[in-house]
Amino acid sequence: MRKLILSLALLSLAALPAAAQSIGGTYAVAGTNFDGSSYGGDATITLTSETTCTIHWETGGSSSDGICMRNDDAFSAGYVMGKAVGLIVYKVQEDGSLHGLWTIAGKEGNGTEVLTPK
């Protein structure tokens, strides 16, 4: 009986949608800048607690680092790129991808970004 209960528990974890699973890992980045031009690269999210993390982007020949936090299907990150401070807010999709809008302090407009798990 104990084995049956353990098996059912493991199956129920495997059946959870990607949005309910860990967000940590490596992602392919595809985004657009304020002017609509595109960029790509990689991002790595490292969990620091159940809801908080650090994030590192390598995109378009530059890198940036930030802190991040998840709340249900909302995922946000504050980051620094050079001397610029930015914010990105993503929606966690059922397939595990993150779809977001980003901006930089003191600038008008926003860019877009999609992180797709590798």
pLDDT at 81: 86
DSSP 8-state symbol, 20 = G
- DSSP, res 110: -
Whole-prediction pTM: 0.81
Determine if residue 96 is left, alpha or beta; phi over 0 gives left, psi from -120 to 50 gives alpha, anything else beta: left
pLDDT in tens, the chain (118 residues): 444 333 333 333 333 333 345 899 999 999 999 999 999 999 999 999 988 999 999 998 899 999 999 999 999 999 998 899 999 999 999 999 999 999 999 999 999 999 999 9
